[in-house]
Chains A and B, each alone.
Chain A
Amino acid sequence: MNIDLVPLWAGIIALAVFMYVLLDGFDLGVGMLFGFAPDESARDLMMASVAPIWDGNETWLVLGSMGLLAAFPAAFAVLMPALYFPILVMLIGLVFRGVAFEFRVLSGTRQGLWNRAFQWGSLAATYAQGVVLGNYVQGFAVSGREFAGTSLDWVRPFPLLVGAGLVYGYGLLGACWLVLKTEGHLQQWARRWALRLLVGVLAFIAMVSIWTPFMQEGIYRRWFSWPNTALLAPVPLITAGLAWWAWSSLRKGRDAAPFLAALGLFAMCYLGLGISLFPLVVPYALTLHQAAAAPDSQVFLGLGTLFLLPIILMYTGWSYWVFRGKVRADAGYGAH
């Protein structure tokens, strides 16, 4: 088999991680906003807006990580031990966030405990993912196919900043999701939060965009050498346009546009990250080809993935369709 599947696999994993960030991003954002909700009935609605879909959303994380293991094993073997504690925090956060959906309703008088588990679990998972991202951009100590640093290397200023940035980012997605799925007072409340968070997100995008090229010379050259600067100019320009769209659609009281604009902002940041790092999969040590699995393994899994992914997207789309529309408190569940 002479076909080089590395680009295809890079694409599949990029897609899986991006889907995870977008989909669980808004779930986790709703979770973080949970603690600020005006009242218990608002919290009920917020949770109801993500309850039927969060599990599917989180599954993209499994696909991303298992895809990375299968297609780029050296990357998996370096990144996981390097990020030992951020991943621990993320997993524990996801555990408590996940069980809170059921436990909150069953716990009766102790509902407050699981409200907090939902909120703090979401926050811990989000911040840890931001720290993972920041470390990814800053790079890892590698020797051969192994991580050569210590389990505390992740404690650095840049990743800690990116963690805070992702909290704002997921928060924005969550607030815009609520604008889309709710109405009345709760929607207005979500809209005010979305505006506040949008300002924060733009500030973090600016800080990270300035800091990154000065941290890594390669990234500086990629963006600021001629003619790259001209060719890549659309990235910041489109980002600015999306920021404006998000702002104005929130001000005009639109339902769906802010969420789409927020997704667009994430897409542009993700694209910018890809442009900065390509073709590395372990910055700044291993390229995609160096970390790639045996071609036979990539082909065997690739065939099934190309067949299954469209089916997954189809039934995922169908489930969003089943649960479409506004979440309402008066939908006639008299039986309860």
Chain B
Amino acid sequence: MKKLDVEKSLILMGIAAFFLFAVGAVCTTIVPPLVDKSLWTTEHDVHEYTEQELRGIEIYKSEGCVYCHTQQIRHLASDQRRYGWRLVNAPASESWEYVNDRYHFLGTKRTGPDLARVGGKYSSEWHWAHFKDPRNMGEKFPDRKGIYEKASIMPSFAYLSDEEIKDLTSYIQTLGRNQNWRIDADGKPLHDYEK
């Protein structure tokens, strides 16, 4: 078989390698937002972050929360059940819910539980105690005794200032609430954390 000339030419080799790569690169980075507009815009009402919540996002980013906590309820029954609340299944995460997220925190690893729908599940006081010491939240939270004290491996974030913990908590309380998925008998949203 006659050898391909491409193996003798720097220019041909470089161009060929680039074009083969470019086909896939264009189809997987530029085409998706053109075909599927829900990746960047939506008709739905999506939460606009306040100043405080934006500060919380910066802390979430610099503390690297995403390395242990994903933010996506996958389209799987097991995910929806596990991250639901009081027997209500969590709706799967949809791409439009994230359009206002300047930084995505979808994550690849669940060393801790998913946080996509955690907003409103726990009181801000609960988060405060948990950030201070995940293995000893004090007498106020008796259900966090026992296995949590032994098994939780979350680092303590006691080094954050009180203001920073408040900012971070305010961001976490917004998570997952673009879909109104927990409502009372009259169809009004339940925000347990506001109590």
Q: Do A and B form a real pair? A: no
Interface residues of B (CB under 8 A from A): none
